[in-house]
Structure 1
Amino acid sequence: MNKKYILFFLFGLLSITISAQSLAEAKALYEKGEYEEAKPTFKKLVKTQPGNGNYNLWYGVCCLETGEPAEALKHLESAVKRRVPSGQLYLARAYNDLYRFEEAIETYETYISALRKRKRSTEEAEQLLEKSKSNLRMLKGVEEVCFIDSFVVDKEKFLDANKISPESGKLFMYDTYFNDSGKEGGTVYETELGNKLYYSEMQPDSTLSILSRNKLLDKWSDGSLLPGSINEAMNADYPYVLTDGIT
């Protein structure tokens, strides 16, 4: 009988040791930014201890960093409720990734206020806050588009097939408009007054970014990259500006 108890005790001790090792290994992977590898362990820990704020934070961050903001959200909210440090930063990021920009802004502002009280740097959080504010402005400028017809055309004839009214400006292919530039690009939009260009152009890192030019007396100014989050995507193309000059 004593042997059975001893064996059971040793088995339990071994299980605890393995669990502790798994947690330590997962935290090491987490600290190195290897979130995909760390995620399964934190997922198991959250299931066994759903009220643990740190486990919720670590699993939520792993989900967020591996492209699962929806899965991350409830765990990061749980971490924030339990006042886990840095939880608000990641929760705000999750809100931003889910296009819930107003909640992201509010959470960033709360987090920044807390950092200031502790006399910590707010630079990173303020940059992310401005990004969410920019995203919100862009979202408010989005218009619903209703397609009443569709047809198939060759890529080279795409712009010819899309007729827009003269007061809406003009669209061109990059190699047609800048036929002697020696560069590559996507499309070019010229405003109704013909005094400004928006166009996509290949960058040194082989991605497309949107630039603008202003009409001078007898020539165009040099191109300048558009600011903000417009060019943060892998490829930015097909620029178009409404007649309000903003959207």
Structure 2
Amino acid sequence: MSVGTVHGVGLGPGAQDLLSVRADRLVRGARHVAYFRKAGRPGQARRIVEGMLRADVVEHAMEYPVTTEIPLGDPRYNACLSRFYASWTEQLAKLVREGEDVVVLCEGDPFFYGSFMHLYTRLVEAGGNAGPAPVPVAVVPGITGMSGAWTACGAPMTWGDDVLTVLTATLPEADLARRIRDTDALVVMKIGRNLAKLRRAVIAAGREGEAWLVEHAAMAEQRVTPLAEAEAVTPYFSILLIHGQGRRP
């Protein structure tokens, strides 16, 4: 019996017309489609492909067992997610070994801060929980959320020899301030509930006047706001930017 493939498909920042031709073809032709979501929510990846899936598609909603209920530093957090990824690795591997192809929908790019990476490493490791041999996996790159964000700002992100630093707002405040101070251009992701901490770090680095907050980049509800004017609460789909001002002709 032939073996299928797990396709990790990058959907880009949020608009269907920003999918690659290959991603569009795979999504529209998939018999099995899997995607991550928070329990009780439709999921951003699933929302992006609304109206694209074939009529007889089989959907596999991979619902996170935990998101913000347990602190990131708590050992229970990693243990809970590890079991979750191991379970879905086995389920996807079973489908593939039965000859089915599975498209896993990935927001942005599959290899850039994405949940798919945790499936990918387990699927390709021989002797893992997925079975005695690696499972065929193909990855389709996508436009990253940060690319969508700086495009929304309408300004070039890096010039000449500018150094671009990408951070997550989950880092300790002192680390954020140090790295923000030391870079030319900046992207901060995973802001969520960390906006107040991030704002303090930007101010401590002396760069509040340069910072922009982009919410829902490339989506209908897109909004670009100077950080100094941003509200206290911001959606998870937000990215902070500081544009480089380096060498140019």
The TM-score range, normalised by the shorter chain, is under 0.3
Q: Which has the higher strand share?
A: 2
TM-score normalised over the length of structure 1: 0.27
Q: Which has the higher contact order (CA 8 A, sep 6+)?
A: 2
Q: Which has the higher helix share?
A: 1
